[in-house]
Structure 1
Amino acid sequence: MLVDHFPLFGLRLRTPRLELRLPSPEELAELAEVAAKGVHDPEVMPFLVPWTDRPAAEVARSVVQHHWSQLGAWTPEEWSLDLAVFLDGRAVGVQEISARDFAITRRVATGSWLGRRHQGQGIGTEMRAAVLHLAFAGLGAHEAVSSAFADNHASHAVSRKLGYQPNGIDRRAIRGALTIDRRLLLTRTAWDDHRTIPVTIDALEPCLPLLGLAST
Protein backbone atom coordinates (compact mmCIF):
# COMPACT_ATOMS: atom_id res chain seq x y z
CA MET A 1 0.00 0.00 0.00
CA LEU A 2 1.07 3.57 -0.65
CA VAL A 3 1.03 4.44 3.04
CA ASP A 4 3.68 1.78 3.66
CA HIS A 5 6.12 3.71 1.48
CA PHE A 6 4.99 7.22 2.36
CA PRO A 7 3.47 7.15 5.86
CA LEU A 8 2.24 10.74 5.67
CA PHE A 9 -0.76 9.43 3.74
CA GLY A 10 -1.93 7.90 7.01
CA LEU A 11 -1.55 11.06 9.10
CA ARG A 12 -4.81 12.55 10.40
CA LEU A 13 -5.45 15.76 12.33
CA ARG A 14 -8.94 16.26 13.76
CA THR A 15 -10.63 19.22 15.40
CA PRO A 16 -14.28 19.52 16.48
CA ARG A 17 -15.36 20.33 12.90
CA LEU A 18 -12.46 19.49 10.61
CA GLU A 19 -10.22 16.71 9.39
CA LEU A 20 -6.83 17.51 7.84
CA ARG A 21 -4.95 14.94 5.74
CA LEU A 22 -3.34 14.38 2.38
CA PRO A 23 -6.03 14.12 -0.30
CA SER A 24 -6.74 11.25 -2.66
CA PRO A 25 -6.55 12.06 -6.40
CA GLU A 26 -10.32 12.58 -6.51
CA GLU A 27 -10.20 14.85 -3.45
CA LEU A 28 -7.32 16.79 -5.00
CA ALA A 29 -9.56 17.41 -8.00
CA GLU A 30 -12.25 18.65 -5.63
CA LEU A 31 -9.76 21.04 -4.02
CA ALA A 32 -8.79 22.33 -7.45
CA GLU A 33 -12.42 23.11 -8.20
CA VAL A 34 -12.80 24.95 -4.89
CA ALA A 35 -9.79 27.12 -5.72
CA ALA A 36 -11.06 27.80 -9.24
CA LYS A 37 -14.26 29.26 -7.75
CA GLY A 38 -12.23 31.80 -5.79
CA VAL A 39 -10.35 32.06 -2.52
CA HIS A 40 -10.23 35.86 -2.07
CA ASP A 41 -11.61 39.16 -3.34
CA PRO A 42 -10.22 39.58 -6.88
CA GLU A 43 -9.47 43.23 -6.11
CA VAL A 44 -6.73 42.24 -3.64
CA MET A 45 -3.84 39.77 -3.74
CA PRO A 46 -3.02 38.08 -0.42
CA PHE A 47 -0.29 35.78 -1.77
CA LEU A 48 3.41 36.41 -2.45
CA VAL A 49 3.05 34.31 -5.60
CA PRO A 50 -0.09 35.58 -7.39
CA TRP A 51 -1.26 32.14 -8.49
CA THR A 52 -4.93 33.11 -8.30
CA ASP A 53 -4.57 35.82 -10.97
CA ARG A 54 -4.75 33.15 -13.69
CA PRO A 55 -7.89 31.92 -15.49
CA ALA A 56 -9.96 29.47 -13.45
CA ALA A 57 -8.76 26.39 -15.34
CA GLU A 58 -5.13 27.35 -14.74
CA VAL A 59 -5.80 28.03 -11.07
CA ALA A 60 -7.27 24.55 -10.72
CA ARG A 61 -4.35 22.93 -12.52
CA SER A 62 -1.83 24.85 -10.42
CA VAL A 63 -3.36 23.38 -7.24
CA VAL A 64 -2.80 19.88 -8.57
CA GLN A 65 0.72 20.58 -9.83
CA HIS A 66 1.79 22.36 -6.65
CA HIS A 67 0.55 19.48 -4.51
CA TRP A 68 2.49 16.94 -6.56
CA SER A 69 5.61 19.10 -6.68
CA GLN A 70 5.71 19.49 -2.90
CA LEU A 71 5.50 15.74 -2.37
CA GLY A 72 7.99 15.04 -5.15
CA ALA A 73 10.59 17.40 -3.68
CA TRP A 74 10.21 16.03 -0.14
CA THR A 75 13.30 15.39 1.99
CA PRO A 76 13.57 15.05 5.78
CA GLU A 77 15.76 18.18 5.74
CA GLU A 78 13.28 20.33 3.82
CA TRP A 79 9.58 19.60 3.56
CA SER A 80 6.23 21.22 2.98
CA LEU A 81 3.09 19.34 3.97
CA ASP A 82 -0.05 20.61 2.21
CA LEU A 83 -2.96 19.09 4.08
CA ALA A 84 -6.44 19.17 2.59
CA VAL A 85 -9.04 20.55 4.99
CA PHE A 86 -12.34 18.64 5.11
CA LEU A 87 -15.58 19.98 6.58
CA ASP A 88 -18.43 17.45 6.74
CA GLY A 89 -16.42 15.24 4.39
CA ARG A 90 -15.99 17.92 1.69
CA ALA A 91 -12.70 19.57 0.78
CA VAL A 92 -12.79 23.31 1.58
CA GLY A 93 -9.15 24.44 1.52
CA VAL A 94 -5.49 23.70 2.21
CA GLN A 95 -3.41 24.18 5.33
CA GLU A 96 0.35 24.08 4.82
CA ILE A 97 3.05 23.46 7.41
CA SER A 98 6.69 23.49 6.32
CA ALA A 99 10.18 23.38 7.77
CA ARG A 100 13.84 23.37 6.86
CA ASP A 101 16.31 21.44 9.05
CA PHE A 102 13.55 21.03 11.62
CA ALA A 103 15.54 18.69 13.88
CA ILE A 104 17.96 21.58 14.45
CA THR A 105 15.85 24.72 14.12
CA ARG A 106 12.64 23.42 15.73
CA ARG A 107 10.80 26.07 13.69
CA VAL A 108 7.86 25.63 11.33
CA ALA A 109 6.08 28.00 8.97
CA THR A 110 2.43 27.92 7.97
CA GLY A 111 0.30 29.14 5.10
CA SER A 112 -3.20 28.40 3.87
CA TRP A 113 -6.10 29.12 1.57
CA LEU A 114 -9.83 28.58 2.01
CA GLY A 115 -12.69 28.66 -0.47
CA ARG A 116 -14.56 31.97 -0.25
CA ARG A 117 -17.92 30.41 0.60
CA HIS A 118 -16.34 28.85 3.71
CA GLN A 119 -14.72 32.02 5.02
CA GLY A 120 -15.94 33.98 8.02
CA GLN A 121 -16.95 30.85 9.96
CA GLY A 122 -13.86 30.30 12.12
CA ILE A 123 -12.56 27.52 9.88
CA GLY A 124 -9.29 29.36 9.22
CA THR A 125 -8.56 29.53 12.94
CA GLU A 126 -9.44 25.88 13.47
CA MET A 127 -7.30 24.56 10.62
CA ARG A 128 -4.24 26.57 11.67
CA ALA A 129 -4.73 25.47 15.27
CA ALA A 130 -4.59 21.88 14.01
CA VAL A 131 -1.15 22.20 12.42
CA LEU A 132 0.17 24.24 15.34
CA HIS A 133 -0.82 21.36 17.60
CA LEU A 134 1.01 19.02 15.24
CA ALA A 135 4.08 21.26 15.41
CA PHE A 136 4.25 21.92 19.14
CA ALA A 137 2.59 18.90 20.73
CA GLY A 138 3.43 16.33 18.07
CA LEU A 139 6.88 17.37 16.83
CA GLY A 140 8.29 19.41 19.70
CA ALA A 141 8.61 22.70 17.82
CA HIS A 142 9.95 25.73 19.67
CA GLU A 143 8.35 28.36 17.44
CA ALA A 144 6.12 28.89 14.42
CA VAL A 145 6.25 31.75 11.94
CA SER A 146 3.75 33.19 9.53
CA SER A 147 3.17 36.40 7.62
CA ALA A 148 0.36 38.35 6.01
CA PHE A 149 0.06 41.58 4.09
CA ALA A 150 -0.97 44.58 6.15
CA ASP A 151 -4.45 44.67 4.58
CA ASN A 152 -5.17 40.96 5.18
CA HIS A 153 -7.24 41.62 8.29
CA ALA A 154 -8.77 38.14 8.47
CA SER A 155 -5.37 36.44 8.59
CA HIS A 156 -4.09 38.87 11.23
CA ALA A 157 -7.20 38.24 13.33
CA VAL A 158 -6.49 34.50 13.28
CA SER A 159 -2.87 35.09 14.25
CA ARG A 160 -3.79 37.33 17.19
CA LYS A 161 -6.32 34.80 18.43
CA LEU A 162 -3.69 32.05 18.39
CA GLY A 163 -1.03 34.10 20.20
CA TYR A 164 1.33 35.32 17.47
CA GLN A 165 3.34 38.49 18.02
CA PRO A 166 4.72 40.98 15.44
CA ASN A 167 8.18 40.02 14.18
CA GLY A 168 9.16 42.74 11.70
CA ILE A 169 8.13 43.61 8.16
CA ASP A 170 9.19 42.98 4.57
CA ARG A 171 8.59 45.26 1.60
CA ARG A 172 7.17 43.37 -1.37
CA ALA A 173 6.27 44.22 -4.95
CA ILE A 174 2.80 42.75 -5.58
CA ARG A 175 0.92 43.48 -8.80
CA GLY A 176 3.44 46.22 -9.52
CA ALA A 177 2.88 48.09 -6.26
CA LEU A 178 4.57 48.24 -2.85
CA THR A 179 2.95 45.95 -0.27
CA ILE A 180 3.96 45.62 3.37
CA ASP A 181 4.29 42.02 4.54
CA ARG A 182 4.01 41.71 8.31
CA ARG A 183 5.97 38.83 9.81
CA LEU A 184 4.58 37.03 12.85
CA LEU A 185 6.10 34.74 15.50
CA LEU A 186 4.47 32.24 17.83
CA THR A 187 6.53 30.78 20.67
CA ARG A 188 5.73 27.51 22.37
CA THR A 189 4.78 29.34 25.57
CA ALA A 190 2.41 31.70 23.72
CA TRP A 191 0.86 28.76 21.86
CA ASP A 192 0.24 26.96 25.14
CA ASP A 193 -1.30 30.09 26.68
CA HIS A 194 -3.71 30.64 23.76
CA ARG A 195 -4.78 27.19 22.66
CA THR A 196 -8.47 26.52 23.12
CA ILE A 197 -9.31 24.19 20.20
CA PRO A 198 -8.96 20.45 20.92
CA VAL A 199 -6.90 18.59 18.32
CA THR A 200 -6.15 14.88 17.96
CA ILE A 201 -3.32 13.40 15.89
CA ASP A 202 -3.42 9.90 14.45
CA ALA A 203 -0.58 7.86 12.87
CA LEU A 204 2.19 10.39 13.51
CA GLU A 205 4.99 8.08 14.66
CA PRO A 206 5.59 6.35 11.30
CA CYS A 207 5.92 9.83 9.74
CA LEU A 208 8.68 11.08 12.06
CA PRO A 209 11.67 9.99 9.94
CA LEU A 210 10.19 11.81 6.92
CA LEU A 211 9.93 14.93 9.09
CA GLY A 212 13.57 14.72 10.10
CA LEU A 213 12.97 13.16 13.52
CA ALA A 214 13.78 9.78 14.97
CA SER A 215 10.93 7.44 15.82
CA THR A 216 10.26 6.98 19.52
Structure 2
Amino acid sequence: MLIDHWPFVGLRLNTDRLELRLPTDEELTEVALVAAGGVHQRDERPYLTPWTDLSPPERTVHVMKQHWSRRGDWSRDAWTLELAVFDEQRPIGMVALRGREFPVLREVKTESWLGLEHHGRGLGTEARSALLHLAFVGLEADAALSEVFQNNPASQGVSRKLGYEHDGISRDVLDGRSVTSDRLRLTRQVWEAGPRLKVTMSGLSPCLPFFGVTPG
Protein backbone atom coordinates (compact mmCIF):
# COMPACT_ATOMS: atom_id res chain seq x y z
CA MET A 1 0.00 0.00 0.00
CA LEU A 2 1.10 3.58 -0.64
CA ILE A 3 1.21 4.45 3.05
CA ASP A 4 3.76 1.70 3.66
CA HIS A 5 6.24 3.42 1.36
CA TRP A 6 5.15 7.07 1.56
CA PRO A 7 3.79 7.46 5.11
CA PHE A 8 3.02 11.15 4.65
CA VAL A 9 -0.38 10.15 3.27
CA GLY A 10 -1.32 9.28 6.86
CA LEU A 11 -0.09 12.53 8.43
CA ARG A 12 -2.83 14.76 9.85
CA LEU A 13 -2.75 18.15 11.58
CA ASN A 14 -6.08 19.29 13.01
CA THR A 15 -7.16 22.53 14.65
CA ASP A 16 -10.68 23.47 15.73
CA ARG A 17 -11.57 24.49 12.17
CA LEU A 18 -8.91 23.11 9.84
CA GLU A 19 -7.31 19.90 8.70
CA LEU A 20 -3.88 19.91 7.04
CA ARG A 21 -2.91 16.80 5.08
CA LEU A 22 -1.47 15.53 1.84
CA PRO A 23 -4.07 15.89 -0.92
CA THR A 24 -5.02 13.13 -3.30
CA ASP A 25 -4.52 14.02 -6.96
CA GLU A 26 -8.22 14.81 -7.27
CA GLU A 27 -8.05 17.06 -4.21
CA LEU A 28 -4.88 18.65 -5.57
CA THR A 29 -6.83 19.63 -8.66
CA GLU A 30 -9.44 21.30 -6.43
CA VAL A 31 -6.72 23.15 -4.49
CA ALA A 32 -5.16 24.32 -7.76
CA LEU A 33 -8.51 25.65 -8.91
CA VAL A 34 -8.73 27.67 -5.68
CA ALA A 35 -5.41 29.27 -6.64
CA ALA A 36 -6.73 29.94 -10.13
CA GLY A 37 -9.50 31.99 -8.52
CA GLY A 38 -6.97 34.30 -6.86
CA VAL A 39 -4.93 34.32 -3.65
CA HIS A 40 -4.36 38.06 -3.21
CA GLN A 41 -5.71 41.40 -4.39
CA ARG A 42 -4.88 42.40 -7.99
CA ASP A 43 -2.68 45.32 -6.97
CA GLU A 44 -0.49 43.13 -4.72
CA ARG A 45 2.61 41.11 -5.65
CA PRO A 46 3.57 39.19 -2.51
CA TYR A 47 5.79 36.48 -4.08
CA LEU A 48 9.33 36.72 -5.38
CA THR A 49 8.46 34.00 -7.89
CA PRO A 50 5.48 35.72 -9.52
CA TRP A 51 3.42 32.59 -10.15
CA THR A 52 0.21 34.44 -9.44
CA ASP A 53 0.86 36.58 -12.54
CA LEU A 54 0.09 33.51 -14.64
CA SER A 55 -3.30 33.10 -16.27
CA PRO A 56 -5.81 31.04 -14.24
CA PRO A 57 -5.27 27.87 -16.33
CA GLU A 58 -1.47 28.26 -16.10
CA ARG A 59 -1.73 28.92 -12.36
CA THR A 60 -3.70 25.70 -11.93
CA VAL A 61 -1.02 23.66 -13.69
CA HIS A 62 1.77 25.45 -11.77
CA VAL A 63 0.30 24.48 -8.38
CA MET A 64 -0.06 20.85 -9.42
CA LYS A 65 3.40 20.58 -10.97
CA GLN A 66 5.06 22.22 -7.98
CA HIS A 67 3.36 19.81 -5.58
CA TRP A 68 4.42 16.75 -7.58
CA SER A 69 7.94 18.13 -8.01
CA ARG A 70 8.39 18.70 -4.31
CA ARG A 71 7.36 15.14 -3.55
CA GLY A 72 9.74 13.78 -6.18
CA ASP A 73 12.70 15.93 -5.09
CA TRP A 74 12.50 14.89 -1.43
CA SER A 75 15.76 14.03 0.31
CA ARG A 76 16.85 14.10 3.94
CA ASP A 77 19.21 16.97 3.15
CA ALA A 78 16.58 19.15 1.45
CA TRP A 79 12.83 18.61 1.70
CA THR A 80 9.55 20.46 1.37
CA LEU A 81 6.39 19.08 2.91
CA GLU A 82 3.39 20.62 1.16
CA LEU A 83 -0.03 20.07 2.75
CA ALA A 84 -3.46 21.12 1.59
CA VAL A 85 -5.61 23.10 4.00
CA PHE A 86 -9.19 21.89 4.39
CA ASP A 87 -12.05 23.81 6.01
CA GLU A 88 -15.14 21.66 6.50
CA GLN A 89 -13.59 19.12 4.10
CA ARG A 90 -13.22 21.76 1.37
CA PRO A 91 -9.70 22.64 0.19
CA ILE A 92 -9.00 26.34 0.69
CA GLY A 93 -5.24 26.64 0.20
CA MET A 94 -1.80 25.18 0.68
CA VAL A 95 0.98 25.39 3.27
CA ALA A 96 4.55 24.15 3.14
CA LEU A 97 7.29 23.37 5.64
CA ARG A 98 10.84 23.38 4.24
CA GLY A 99 14.06 22.07 5.73
CA ARG A 100 17.71 22.07 4.66
CA GLU A 101 20.29 19.96 6.52
CA PHE A 102 17.64 19.77 9.21
CA PRO A 103 19.36 17.26 11.56
CA VAL A 104 22.21 19.78 11.94
CA LEU A 105 20.55 23.20 11.56
CA ARG A 106 17.21 22.34 13.23
CA GLU A 107 15.52 25.17 11.33
CA VAL A 108 12.47 25.23 9.07
CA LYS A 109 10.89 27.74 6.72
CA THR A 110 7.17 28.13 6.11
CA GLU A 111 5.13 29.08 3.05
CA SER A 112 1.40 29.45 2.63
CA TRP A 113 -1.43 30.78 0.53
CA LEU A 114 -5.21 30.72 0.87
CA GLY A 115 -7.90 31.42 -1.69
CA LEU A 116 -8.87 35.09 -1.59
CA GLU A 117 -12.41 34.37 -0.41
CA HIS A 118 -11.00 32.75 2.74
CA HIS A 119 -8.93 35.75 3.85
CA GLY A 120 -9.82 37.81 6.88
CA ARG A 121 -11.11 34.96 9.07
CA GLY A 122 -7.88 34.07 10.89
CA LEU A 123 -7.49 30.86 8.90
CA GLY A 124 -3.99 31.75 7.71
CA THR A 125 -2.82 32.20 11.30
CA GLU A 126 -4.50 28.94 12.28
CA ALA A 127 -2.84 27.01 9.44
CA ARG A 128 0.59 28.49 10.26
CA SER A 129 0.06 27.56 13.91
CA ALA A 130 -0.53 23.95 12.91
CA LEU A 131 2.71 23.93 10.89
CA LEU A 132 4.61 25.38 13.83
CA HIS A 133 3.22 22.64 16.06
CA LEU A 134 4.58 20.08 13.61
CA ALA A 135 7.95 21.84 13.56
CA PHE A 136 8.45 22.39 17.28
CA VAL A 137 6.58 19.46 18.82
CA GLY A 138 6.83 16.86 16.08
CA LEU A 139 10.32 17.56 14.69
CA GLU A 140 11.82 19.38 17.71
CA ALA A 141 13.05 22.28 15.60
CA ASP A 142 15.02 25.09 17.20
CA ALA A 143 13.62 27.87 15.01
CA ALA A 144 11.11 28.67 12.27
CA LEU A 145 11.99 31.27 9.64
CA SER A 146 10.00 33.39 7.23
CA GLU A 147 10.85 36.04 4.64
CA VAL A 148 8.18 38.61 3.85
CA PHE A 149 8.19 41.66 1.60
CA GLN A 150 8.19 44.82 3.69
CA ASN A 151 5.07 46.01 1.83
CA ASN A 152 3.07 42.86 2.69
CA PRO A 153 1.32 43.89 5.94
CA ALA A 154 -1.03 40.90 6.05
CA SER A 155 1.72 38.29 6.11
CA GLN A 156 3.84 40.48 8.37
CA GLY A 157 0.92 40.64 10.77
CA VAL A 158 0.49 36.88 10.91
CA SER A 159 4.18 36.40 11.70
CA ARG A 160 4.29 39.10 14.37
CA LYS A 161 1.13 37.74 15.97
CA LEU A 162 2.75 34.34 16.30
CA GLY A 163 5.87 35.75 17.95
CA TYR A 164 8.35 36.02 15.06
CA GLU A 165 11.07 38.60 15.60
CA HIS A 166 13.12 40.65 13.14
CA ASP A 167 16.25 38.85 11.98
CA GLY A 168 17.62 41.14 9.27
CA ILE A 169 16.66 41.84 5.67
CA SER A 170 17.26 40.32 2.26
CA ARG A 171 17.26 42.10 -1.12
CA ASP A 172 16.26 40.56 -4.44
CA VAL A 173 15.31 41.63 -7.94
CA LEU A 174 11.71 41.43 -9.14
CA ASP A 175 10.84 42.67 -12.63
CA GLY A 176 14.09 44.57 -12.87
CA ARG A 177 13.68 46.46 -9.61
CA SER A 178 15.02 45.98 -6.10
CA VAL A 179 12.68 44.54 -3.49
CA THR A 180 13.38 44.18 0.23
CA SER A 181 12.10 41.46 2.53
CA ASP A 182 12.21 41.21 6.30
CA ARG A 183 13.76 38.03 7.62
CA LEU A 184 11.73 36.88 10.60
CA ARG A 185 12.64 34.21 13.16
CA LEU A 186 10.58 32.38 15.77
CA THR A 187 12.67 30.48 18.30
CA ARG A 188 11.50 27.49 20.25
CA GLN A 189 11.87 29.46 23.50
CA VAL A 190 9.57 32.26 22.32
CA TRP A 191 7.06 29.79 20.85
CA GLU A 192 6.91 27.75 24.07
CA ALA A 193 6.46 30.87 26.19
CA GLY A 194 3.60 32.30 24.12
CA PRO A 195 -0.07 31.35 23.74
CA ARG A 196 -0.53 28.41 21.41
CA LEU A 197 -3.46 27.06 19.45
CA LYS A 198 -4.64 23.55 20.24
CA VAL A 199 -3.39 21.24 17.48
CA THR A 200 -3.91 17.49 17.18
CA MET A 201 -1.25 15.62 15.23
CA SER A 202 -1.35 12.01 14.04
CA GLY A 203 0.59 9.76 11.70
CA LEU A 204 3.97 11.48 12.17
CA SER A 205 6.09 8.67 13.63
CA PRO A 206 6.65 6.66 10.42
CA CYS A 207 7.49 9.92 8.58
CA LEU A 208 10.33 10.94 10.91
CA PRO A 209 13.16 9.07 9.13
CA PHE A 210 12.33 11.01 5.96
CA PHE A 211 13.19 14.22 7.87
CA GLY A 212 16.43 12.71 9.17
CA VAL A 213 14.89 12.50 12.64
CA THR A 214 15.24 9.39 14.80
CA PRO A 215 11.88 8.33 16.30
CA GLY A 216 11.88 8.69 20.08
Under a length normalisation based on structure 1, what TM-score does the superposition of the two structures give? Answer: 0.98
Residue 106 of structure 1 pairs with residue 106 of structure 2: yes
Question: Distance between the aligned counterparts of 1:176 and 1:124, measured in 2?
Answer: 30
Task: Please report how far the alpha carbon of residue 143 of structure 1 lies from its aligned counterpart in structure 2 after TM superposition.
Answer: 0.5
1:67-82 to 2 correspondence within 5 Å? Answer: 67-82=67-82
1:1-40 to 2 correspondence within 5 Å? Answer: 1-40=1-40
**Pair 196,215 (structure 1): closer, same or farther in 2 beyond 3 Å:** closer
Task: Please report how far the alpha carbon of residue 155 of structure 1 lies from its aligned counterpart in structure 2 after TM superposition.
Answer: 0.6
Question: Distance between the aligned counterparts of 1:192 and 1:215, measured in 2?
Answer: 22
Task: Please report how far the alpha carbon of residue 195 of structure 1 lies from its aligned counterpart in structure 2 after TM superposition.
Answer: 3.3
- Aligned residue pair count: 216
Question: Distance between the aligned counterparts of 1:174 and 1:193, measured in 2?
Answer: 37
Question: Distance between the aligned counterparts of 1:108 and 1:23, measured in 2?
Answer: 21
Runs of 4+ with >6 A deviation? none
Q: Which residue of 1 aligns with 2:207?
A: 207
Q: Which residue of 1 aligns with 2:119?
A: 119
Q: Which residue of 2 aligns with 1:42?
A: 42
Output one character per residue of 1:121-148: Cα deviation in whole Å (capped at 9) or x when no partner: 0001000000100000111100010011
For 2:191, give the aligned amino acid: W
Q: Which residue of 2 aligns with 1:65?
A: 65
Residue 132 of structure 1 pairs with residue 171 of structure 2: no
Q: Secondary structure at the match of 1:46?
A: coil
Question: Distance between the aligned counterparts of 2:116 and 2:179, measured in 1?
Answer: 22
Output one character per residue of 1:168-187: Cα deviation in whole Å (capped at 9) or x when no partner: 11122223322211110000
Q: Which runs of 5+ in 2 are unaligned?
A: none
Query: Alpha carbon RMSD of aligned pairs, Å?
Result: 0.9
Q: Secondary structure at the match of 1:26?
A: helix
For 1:77, give the aligned amino acid: D
Q: Secondary structure at the match of 2:42?
A: coil
Task: Please report how far the alpha carbon of residue 42 of structure 1 lies from its aligned counterpart in structure 2 after TM superposition.
Answer: 2.0
Kindly indicate whether the alpha-carbon contact (under 8 Å) linking 1:99 and 1:108 is maintained by their aligned counterparts in 2.
Answer: yes
Task: Please report how far the alpha carbon of residue 87 of structure 1 lies from its aligned counterpart in structure 2 after TM superposition.
Answer: 0.4
Q: Which residue of 1 aligns with 2:147?
A: 147
Kindly indicate whether the alpha-carbon contact (under 8 Å) linking 1:79 and 1:211 is maintained by their aligned counterparts in 2.
Answer: yes
Identical counterparts, % of pairs: 49
Residue 188 of structure 1 pairs with residue 158 of structure 2: no
